[in-house]
Structure 1
């Protein structure tokens, strides 16, 4: 256990540079006192690690020191071949790079690890996009990605959710692939926001470079932004609906929020096999379209306004199919 922790400490210093004892402790989930002991053990074994004192201090390796030891277990090495999506890498212009990296990793592995990794590749394929949804490949994704790598400002025209167009100059901080859609997290004039890349047009990477926000955590920002977006979208209250067995089997078409509502709020089936579900509403119009696709397999009980919309839609559909 301690040998693995010492190796992890060494690799952290090698990949991240100067780190404080508290940062190492947080990363490895150990106490600061344990970090002190581990650093002493590394130094005693000949690893050239030294400490800088003061507010900006920390531990680091002597410049130029590298260890060729990876310390990968068989399972860790094999798992690396499940982390990359070939389609995702191709969209970012990194397809050949990913293939070359995997080939080099295979060549560097001992025979046992190489055999396990090859079995993973032969027997597991990751196809991330959902059914009937092709992954987005926005025409300007490569330009946006290049600006992210090189920290260059972007000038573009952006189509907002209400179809209004605005001109923006952004500092791209990162890219996120959510399902099949690419988003660019970027800083504008006032704040950081997420922009759907497929809504970007007339994109130009400027020669101007920018400094990244100190301590910006892309993953944490995305989780917080997604949570805020969901709370903003579902602000029209709730609907109580009866969901028949056939509709329940296709309920996934409405997305994860509706799936969670079915899973968490569904009561006991009635005599017709229908279950009562409390569904968050983005808007009455969205609900009319979404629930209308199920026809008589879904019945809205409440609120009365949405029930009236569904009744009017059914009447109009009947009128159009009536032979008169």
Structure 2
């Protein structure tokens, strides 16, 4: 810990120039007395740090004293800045580690490359979560990520949709994934590889038992395959509909991507009225009812019959509640 703090102190001076003992103490979250001792230790180790006296004084490094990384291109420096995700890193318990790493990288870069990183930061920002969604609380993410890193078994209490709602499982955690602002855990339950939403985990106990991680496991490949199977598995049914050209465009804004993409791809040529027939994947009749109503009078359900009847019943109920525009009040 102290060695890491000494490096951080050195890099702060290298990055920011002259700093007072109080400024260093605040940045490192230590006492001023600790800063005095650390500065003495750096000097004893041969680092040319010295103090300027007076009201505008402080500690600084001898001019020209720098460490550098070699072989890094301007493009690589810019890409490294874009790779930083402070929000997810903080949720993983790595916020301070990421900040320290970025500080070290910046200090080691030649000035011209560090400046390019600043230009990228001022022009590009990554905001991973979707619109109109509050961040999902993940109080157990740090513990799970630590178990993933150390190859330790975990016992989790998990809330699921099926009954019984709460279950307890002993898992071999293989990796964590951030998808659209939500965290997921890939883990072995027995010999089955499964995925768990971290926000649904209610309790975690990291066990002393370790597990042997397969050298063949590829987290990115597993996740790509799992998401593909999940999307295909969710939409088990389909509905045949006819829609206006306006609805065909509007569905991309109100339907999940898998639904709108499939419906637009399957759309036929316009009929005499300008409407187009297509097929849309749905999770169930009830799900289809909810989604199709978003298109209002710009869609007609052709099949299955039970879905058409459900939409018709809703349309008639609404017509009874709302009079025809310009007619007498209900």
TM-score (norm 2): 0.69
Deviation at 1:195, TM superposition (A): 0.8
Question: Paired residue for 2:283?
Answer: 282
Provide the rounded CA distance (Å) in 1 between the counterparts of 2:265 and 2:131: 24
Question: Paired residue for 1:309?
Answer: 310
Matched-pair contact (CA < 8 Å) for 2:77–2:113: yes
Matched-pair contact (CA < 8 Å) for 2:238–2:279: no
Question: Paired residue for 1:158?
Answer: 158
Per-residue CA shift, 1:245-294, capped at 9, x if unaligned?
26733633322202322442344566877554421122111111222233
In 2 relative to 1, CA 173–246 (structure 1 residues): closer, same or farther, beyond 3 Å? same
The 10-residue stretch of structure 1 (112-121 or 148-157) with the greater mean CA deviation from structure 2 = 148-157
- Secondary structure (helix, strand or coil) at the match of 1:294 reads helix
Equivalent runs, 1:1-324 vs 2, <5 Å: 71-162=71-162, 164-243=165-244, 245=246, 248-249=249-250, 251-267=252-268, 275-318=276-319
Matched-pair contact (CA < 8 Å) for 1:241–1:302: no
CA RMSD of aligned residues (A): 2.6
How many residues align structurally?
257
Matched-pair contact (CA < 8 Å) for 2:184–2:196: yes
5+ residue gaps, structure 2:
1-67, 324-328
Per-residue CA shift, 1:196-234, capped at 9, x if unaligned?
112221222222222212321101111111122222212
Per-residue CA shift, 1:104-124, capped at 9, x if unaligned?
212211222112111000011
5+ residue gaps, structure 1:
1-67
Matched-pair contact (CA < 8 Å) for 1:246–1:297: yes
Matched-pair contact (CA < 8 Å) for 1:155–1:204: yes
TM-score (norm 1): 0.70
In 2 relative to 1, CA 266–215 (structure 1 residues): closer, same or farther, beyond 3 Å? same
In 2 relative to 1, CA 123–69 (structure 1 residues): closer, same or farther, beyond 3 Å? closer
In 2 relative to 1, CA 242–70 (structure 1 residues): closer, same or farther, beyond 3 Å? farther
Question: Paired residue for 2:64?
Answer: none
In 2 relative to 1, CA 77–208 (structure 1 residues): closer, same or farther, beyond 3 Å? same
Question: Paired residue for 1:50?
Answer: none
Matched-pair contact (CA < 8 Å) for 2:152–2:209: yes
**Computing the radius of gyration over CA atoms, which structure comes out larger, 1 or 2?**
2
